[in-house]
Structure 1
């Protein structure tokens, strides 16, 4: 009788709270893509506070080497896809053969759809989808998310946890050795520039279609996809760790913070020899971004699961539960035009600074309301 009373109070709520914190963090991540990053510059114009100026600078990608907060958006999403995988997935050998086959096929379907949606996102503006296959950009953010998730899923489904750890470490080290010491013609051999890195040869030789802005190196190119798998794998390890220690929130929080610190320390130290670079997706970049990702997850876990401050989390969860719609919508719908159409009168009479707040705040509000409408009707479009 005691087990009947304890079962619902221990197992069920923990699962719901954990999922809310992950959805909230995913929504927080996507919030900046909706237009949230533009508010810092607007607030700086109004207040003149240097804090907002720093925030506006952090909402720009690094010019080349280095790291900004905006550089974290993409790898954080990959990391969270791994966390969800680590929480829910298990080896396919533990399923009946027919169910295992269905799970594998669903994974392949997800990969293909994300690649297709990525191509659609790339050509959502301007002249539209090119008629010639050679003019299509096949590499994409969604494609990388699909590839990193799928390879991580295959490892979870088919190999042991120990092997997964070995693969993660091996990828980081081999990628570093490859870019640092292997050269093909004049490319590589420790050249980490946009024109001379070994990645250029891979993209020019194997990447079909065109590259981003017809540059020699695509930021979502062939070789750097390999290292992004580790972002997902570290997410898998963290997801498993959360499940294992879910009964002791304080212990889990402390360990997550310590792990985040170790990853950041290793990443910044390695960055002295192998520069932190988003486009090359260097091994130091992987460690730094996963370090900050774990730190953010610990923060959201503490606020949502431990302190139980859930109301604010639901604001971001509304975004996080339909993240694919958020991302595609940012390319296929001109939300800035829509905001101007609805709030144009207020924008014209508002003083400088406030014009941008009304414009971009309107964009955020309109997108959030659409997502909230889907959320209330439990319409979650997932791939």
Structure 2
């Protein structure tokens, strides 16, 4: 006689996902400065090495700071995989409501991205040609929008085929296609195919007036694969969880395979964040999966709830965190509240104390929203 195990009920929110999103965003709050401050305090080479990881790679290669953005897109895709169904599964009225939502979200994120680009006390230029329309928020919106359409209208097998097709197709495009003297295997900052697309199809200005924008037109292809990978992992996560099957080991193997593929193929196609090459996508997917495994093990398995709370407070209002980093002078607020504490600290410790005060002020504001169940989502 076969005895079926009772099926687990997936919680409304998986604590480790919100916590990982918060961990991802804390480096945007200013925590990335802690390693430089610790190096100034101790002169230990380890902290200098870690501080170098808190900077974007100059062109080819990857640092820890380069993983922040792809991880956020991956987690957005995972949220989609945990909840989304084919559009045909809904009645006609519900379909009409659902279709409007991702379009509205895409437009709002694009608009907020322009606001973010021209924050930092500068304001938006009056000359439309000086406005930077490409942005991190717009890329999040585009990747999420395309992933949503794929979930709605494509069967699972086709979704996997599209994922592989995007990775391979993007490689073929950059490696073999030449337009206007750009491309055909040229991955430099002056000759990549992406430059032609950004110069001819991207309105307004590019980031720092460079030839190619890090959130430009063509590189959206690579970022969509990060969203799709998150979608697949989210769906797999549900299946394994409800079937009482192991999650940690299979996902760890998937993460390692992606890293091996990304690094292994980097001799053919360089790992490059600005171009968001297929190898960059694979490597960042690998790191994203392994970080998810680590947080799931710590928080949902070992039940480290205090760790979860600290990061969840940030992760539940991630868009607010990012947008506020451009339009709010957090350093001024931190100095106004804790400037005396910093000044009263031993001189060698002032840099470290200053970083903690900066992050703490922002965390307190987010905790205020969290305690009142105010979660701003788009």
Note whether the superposition's TM-score is higher than 0.5.
yes
Equivalent of residue 141 in structure 2, options 146, 152, 174? 146
CA contact (8 A) 1:249 1:306 kept: no
TM-aligned CA deviation for residue 250 of structure 1: 6.7
TM-aligned CA deviation for residue 342 of structure 1: 2.1
> 1:52-93: per-residue Cα shift (whole Å, max 9, x none)?
222111111101100110000000000000000000000010
CA change 1:300–1:187 in 2 (3 A) is same
- Report the count of equivalent residues: 373
CA contact (8 A) 1:83 1:236 kept: yes
Instruction: Determine the structure 2 residue equivalent to 1:217.
Output: 212
User: Is it true that 1:326 corresponds to 2:321 in the alignment?
Assistant: yes
Alpha-carbon distance between aligned partners in 2 of 1:269 and 1:195, rounded to the nearest angstrom: 25
Contiguous gaps of at least 5 residues in structure 2? 1-5
Report the 3-state secondary structure (helix = DSSP H, G, I; strand = E; otherwise coil) of the residue aligned with 1:33.
coil
Instruction: Determine the structure 1 residue equivalent to 2:202.
Output: 207
> 1:80-114: per-residue Cα shift (whole Å, max 9, x none)?
00000000000010000110110110111111111
Instruction: Determine the structure 2 residue equivalent to 1:3.
Output: none
CA contact (8 A) 2:53 2:64 kept: yes
Alpha-carbon distance between aligned partners in 2 of 1:333 and 1:250, rounded to the nearest angstrom: 45
User: Is it true that 1:15 corresponds to 2:14 in the alignment?
Assistant: no
> 1:301-338: per-residue Cα shift (whole Å, max 9, x none)?
11111122222111000000000100001000111122
Equivalent of residue 60 in structure 2, options 62, 65, 83? 65
Alpha-carbon distance between aligned partners in 1 of 2:44 and 2:96, rounded to the nearest angstrom: 57
User: Is it true that 1:260 corresponds to 2:255 in the alignment?
Assistant: yes
Instruction: Determine the structure 2 residue equivalent to 1:273.
Output: 268
CA contact (8 A) 2:143 2:223 kept: yes
CA contact (8 A) 1:43 1:353 kept: no
Alpha-carbon distance between aligned partners in 2 of 1:170 and 1:309, rounded to the nearest angstrom: 40
Q: Return the TM-score normalized by structure 2.
A: 0.96
Instruction: Determine the structure 2 residue equivalent to 1:136.
Output: 131
User: Is it true that 1:372 corresponds to 2:367 in the alignment?
Assistant: yes
User: Is it true that 1:38 corresponds to 2:33 in the alignment?
Assistant: yes
RMSD, matched Cα? 1.4
Q: Return the TM-score normalized by structure 1.
A: 0.95
| 1:210-249 → structure 2 map (5 Å cutoff) | 210-247=205-242
User: Is it true that 1:299 corresponds to 2:331 in the alignment?
Assistant: no
CA change 1:167–1:220 in 2 (3 A) is same
CA contact (8 A) 1:21 1:313 kept: yes
Which stretches of structure 1, 4 residues or longer, exceed 6 Å deviation after superposition? none
Alpha-carbon distance between aligned partners in 2 of 1:276 and 1:352, rounded to the nearest angstrom: 41
CA contact (8 A) 1:45 1:352 kept: no
Structure holding more helix per residue: 1
Contiguous gaps of at least 5 residues in structure 1? 1-5
User: Is it true that 1:198 corresponds to 2:193 in the alignment?
Assistant: yes
Instruction: Determine the structure 2 residue equivalent to 1:316.
Output: 311
CA contact (8 A) 1:46 1:352 kept: no
Alpha-carbon distance between aligned partners in 1 of 2:257 and 2:25, rounded to the nearest angstrom: 26
Instruction: Determine the structure 1 residue equivalent to 2:3.
Output: none
Alpha-carbon distance between aligned partners in 2 of 1:379 and 1:353, rounded to the nearest angstrom: 39
